[in-house]
Amino acid sequence: MAINQKQVLSLQQKLSPQQIQMIKLLELPTVQLEQRIKQEIEDNIVLEEEERSPEEEEPREISVEEYLREDDTPSYKSRINNYSKDDKQRPVYLSEGRSLQEYLVEQLGYRDLSEREMRLAVYLIGSIDEDGYLRRDLESVADDIAFTMGVEVTPAELERLLKIIHELEPAGVGARNLQECLLLQMDQIPLNSRARRLARKILTSYFDEFVKKHYEKLIARLQVTEDEFRDAIDEIRRLSPKPGNLYSEGGTDTTPYIIPDFLLDFHDGRFELSLNSYNVPEVRVNRRYVDMIRDMVASDGTVKEKDREALQFVKSKIDSAKWFISAIKQRHDTLMRTMQTILDYQQEYFKDGDKSKLRPMILKDIADRTGLDVSTISRVVNSKYVQTQFGIILLKSLFSEAMQTDSGEEVSSYEIKNLLQRCIDEEDKRRPLTDETLMDMLNAKGYRIARRTVAKYREMLGIPVARLRKQI
């Protein structure tokens, strides 16, 4: 085949690096935005953090040619009278407590273990999950120890050390399955009542039937009364299925903090919406570098050969800085515009937080009202929270699909979920309602809903199937 050249004309849509950065800034919640701005300050030498009063004017667009004529550099303001000048920033101190593994290792120190046993036990503890389970088989752990520590160990030796770990607090830690976890907890309480002895027998010999809630079959096999069986079940329910959760000591992992992106106040019949940018630094172009450019340029507009490279470098950094400042301002405007539209759309809900007042709302509804793209609205509401007088709300949770009643009225799926929750709360726990029965009840109330939709909403509410809701 002959090799030849030819020209092909094609039209493609590509995002510029600036557009990609703008999209990423739009997705960031408040906490990550603060980190991103500080990172940009470190990366760009011409950017600096500034403290400006809320009364200063809004920024305006500026071209590269204005660098030499500009008396002052622009800045953006993300705080819009959210705080007065008397407010003081008070740092929040978070103490990192001991982890579960550190707590277990500390307890091992009180055991009479050799140096080898201690090293192996510590490795075993390191394999325990956050909820307190050891979900790896001992043969795999032994192989890892041989590979990483160069120590040959048998599963039997690890089993013996694991039994020592089972005696530590919290009770049930190091279990390999739920049955072992519950039995370990039963071993640490005295079996001084018939209910506890019966509970241990159920966990030991009839665990599968207990998990599947075959209560009538268990009562018949154990030859006990319903009251005796109920007392035994109550003893089992006092045990923890996740022993790791019983231990927490001020760590940030166990006590997560949510910092809202919007602040919404409602008083005297009026809403006040603002961005929560309390810890977000405001930035500007360092005046020193603008003066540097001015000094490099002669009165006739010429630049010395030795200064051209430095001038080009500083100009590129100032370009980048001013674009970044503009992008932050654009992010601010887009977020406020979107949140204000959501507020206008769901005013009745934001007055008191009654979810039954939520109107059906999808991303396209907000996109049509703001004139923005659906993907932009999706990025705005993703991982963003609004603080209201009735709590902190995830914006994404305000969006719901519309359902139609027999009368043709459109209602939010939240209304159907609330009704579904009430039906299940009021059911006879001895004979829980199946999904098909719940569908018939909702249809009788005028809501057109299929059984699979009932199952989907039930799972979204975290409600198990009828068989697992059964009680004695």
pLDDT for residue 203 is more than 90: yes
Residue 117 Cα distances to 85, 99, 109, 152, 255, angstroms: 61, 21, 11, 12, 34
H runs (alpha helix) in 28-110 = 30-43, 100-108
Position 187: which residue type? D
Question: Average pLDDT over the chain, rounded to whole?
Answer: 80
pLDDT, greater one: 437 or 305: 437
DSSP codes of every residue in 379-411: HHHTT-EEEETTEEEEGGGG-B-EEEBTTS-EE
Question: Quick check: 325 and 284 in contact, CB under 8 A?
Answer: yes
pTM for this structure?
0.56
Q: Which residue has the higher pLDDT, 341 or 34?
A: 341
How confident is the model over 123-137, as pLDDT tens digits?
999 999 888 999 989
Q: What is the pLDDT of residue 343?
A: 92
Q: Residue 127: left (phi > 0), alpha (psi -120 to 50), or beta? A: alpha
Closest CA to 342 of 369, 308, 321: 369
Domains of the chain: 15-80+256-399 (no CATH), 100-246 (no CATH), 402-469 (1.10.10.60)
What integer is the mean pLDDT of 302-330? 82
Placement of tokens 């914006």 in the chain: 395
Biggest CA–CA distance in the chain, Å, is 106
Statement: residue 255 has pLDDT above 50: no
Task: Report yes or no: 25 and 36 within 8 Å, Cβ to Cβ.
Answer: yes
| Mean pLDDT, residues 315-319 | 85
Mean pLDDT over 440-466 rounds to 85
CB-CB neighbours of 50 under 10 Å: 13
Q: 69, 293 in Cβ contact below 8 A?
A: no
**Residues listed for the chain:** 472
Q: The tokens of 162 are what?
A: 């694991």
More confident residue, 79 or 391: 391
